[in-house]
Chain A
């Protein structure tokens, strides 16, 4: 292979690639042959109902679940069998659902722990305190004493301390007031501009559509729809989100192409889209 074609291949290569990923929780299949390609610097969103497998996907990419089949590639390197802490070293960092700070540690200690296996890069305590200007004054406070929104910010800061190449965000908005959610989502473009690749999971579809360059919809472990938010119609998203019941008894095929005529009566609006 010549130099030029090699660099061309490099350019085409996504930073994070998921190929045919299947994951089981015991007897239950949580993910069925899911594939994703995230170019460097992109922000993609996974949407889907409760139990669609969104969190399982992020947790599998982070290494907390072992897939039954499929591969996860980071910059072309197979990381499928790496332990979670080794993936952090490689640059894949998850902000878990429910924030999961270390409650007995102080705010600053949480950030320091996040930097345990940090890669070289722009993020350090000072940069994180610049991004969240309220943190420095309260660095000695125990994480358990912070409000939900503050804890979410610290959880993001803790992930940034590792200097991730790929940042995985699981349900940032869970349990937070809308104004706090907007503030936290307002940070994401800054992170993306710094070259970080972001994959986020969100139940609040309008929030996901607003921030992502590409949206993937999961239904019962399968990707039912994907594309840039601008090219997707609300009807398409709705049917991909809920699954389509063509017949009134709910036995309709879920493989049907999404369309308005297959909408289940009374399925309602896209969650969050009306706000």
Chain B
């Protein structure tokens, strides 16, 4: 029964990883930008939430109503300025620029927010749980995060496949130049895609901040790494693969922890390595977005 519990906990944790990975996957799928500042941006969202809550006294769990639109706007502006300028100079430049952005964010946060750990206080919700049988205990927060991840990915999938803007995003992802020749301002479409990606990053950052403590360097130390692993395991640019990848990573970590607490991270990395060797294209083979 403890193994079943480990798998259930892994699925829950996978929801958080999938939420992290979603924005990374979208940015790569549409713009071919590998955003090395992804994890740091999630942490910034958590810090912004701390500020927003202090100023507006909005309940912590509702802070996303303000933080997500703020972050989406930041995403659009950042894409239209810095990231577009990097893209114009080649895909490799975006790696350098987002790496630089990551360094700037981490040091900026340490300078202005100190290196102390923070958390988003959600009171008793952080520990409330319910039990199934005698062995399986599910925390409400974990369940909510998993549900949010599934809803976000489902919603994004529906948006991309059925809306006009989603169609334009897929067209630009397929062939940027042909999109221009069809009358599409691809820079604007990139901006819209970045806004959506940053919105999901903000959600992931908030979920992380409620789930555990965060500090200025945790974005690169943990968030970026797990998001990357989820995306690679699932298959680059595929949203369903991202969900599956996140959940597989979560399950691997929890099952590893079942052997020994120190094996949690190791088990996740091993799965990542095995997938890289045996199936480098990821578990989903479809190349197109959505």
Q: Which residues in A have some Cβ–Cβ distance to B below 8 Å?
A: 62-64, 83-85, 88-89, 93-94, 96, 100-105, 109, 112-114, 116-118, 158, 162
B174 lies within 8 A of A88 (CB): no
| Smallest Cβ-Cβ distance to A101: which chain B residue | B178
Set of chain B residues within 8 Å of A116, measured between Cβ atoms: 168, 182-184
Q: Does B135 contact A (CB under 8 A)?
A: no
The complex places the Cα of A175 from the Cα of B36 at a distance, in Å, of: 42
Smallest beta-carbon distance A138→chain B, Å: 18
Q: Does B171 contact A (CB under 8 A)?
A: yes
Set of chain A residues within 8 Å of B55, measured between Cβ atoms: none
Smallest beta-carbon distance B240→chain A, Å: 14
Q: Scoring B residues 145 to 172 as 1 if CB is less than 8 Å from chain A, else 0, what string do you get? A: 0000000000000000000100110110
Q: Which residues in B have some Cβ–Cβ distance to A below 8 Å?
A: 164, 167-168, 170-171, 173-175, 177-186, 287-289
B289 lies within 8 A of A114 (CB): no
Smallest beta-carbon distance A238→chain B, Å: 33
The complex places the Cα of A105 from the Cα of B186 at a distance, in Å, of: 16
| Smallest Cβ-Cβ distance to A94: which chain B residue | B181
Dominant secondary structure at the B interface? helix
B174 lies within 8 A of A64 (CB): no
Q: List 20 A-B contacts (CB under 8 A).
A: A64-B181, A84-B180, A85-B180, A89-B183, A94-B181, A96-B181, A100-B175, A100-B177, A100-B178, A102-B175, A103-B175, A103-B288, A104-B173, A109-B170, A109-B171, A113-B167, A114-B182, A116-B168, A116-B184, A158-B182
Known: A100-B175, A104-B174. A109 touches B181 (CB 8 A): no
- From A89, A112, A158, B167 is in contact (CB under 8 Å) with A112
B184 lies within 8 A of A113 (CB): yes
Set of chain B residues within 8 Å of A105, measured between Cβ atoms: 167, 170-171, 174
Set of chain A residues within 8 Å of B177, measured between Cβ atoms: 64, 96, 100
A85 lies within 8 A of B170 (CB): no
The complex places the Cα of A109 from the Cα of B166 at a distance, in Å, of: 11
Smallest beta-carbon distance A133→chain B, Å: 23
Set of chain A residues within 8 Å of B174, measured between Cβ atoms: 102-105
A64 lies within 8 A of B171 (CB): no
Set of chain B residues within 8 Å of A93, measured between Cβ atoms: 181, 183
B185 lies within 8 A of A83 (CB): yes
Set of chain A residues within 8 Å of B185, measured between Cβ atoms: 83, 85
B181 lies within 8 A of A84 (CB): yes
Closest 8 CB pairs of A and B: A117-B183, A88-B183, A104-B288, A100-B178, A102-B174, A84-B180, A113-B171, A116-B183
Interface centre among B171, B180, B183, B289 (most CB of A within 10 A): B183
The complex places the Cα of A179 from the Cα of B265 at a distance, in Å, of: 62
| Smallest Cβ-Cβ distance to B183: which chain A residue | A117
| Smallest Cβ-Cβ distance to B288: which chain A residue | A104
Set of chain A residues within 8 Å of B175, measured between Cβ atoms: 100-103
The complex places the Cα of A126 from the Cα of B173 at a distance, in Å, of: 27
A88 lies within 8 A of B178 (CB): no
Set of chain A residues within 8 Å of B182, measured between Cβ atoms: 85, 88, 113-114, 116-117, 158, 162
Set of chain B residues within 8 Å of A117, measured between Cβ atoms: 182-184
B183 lies within 8 A of A118 (CB): yes
Smallest beta-carbon distance A10→chain B, Å: 26
The complex places the Cα of A158 from the Cα of B175 at a distance, in Å, of: 14
B180 lies within 8 A of A113 (CB): no
The complex places the Cα of A119 from the Cα of B142 at a distance, in Å, of: 51
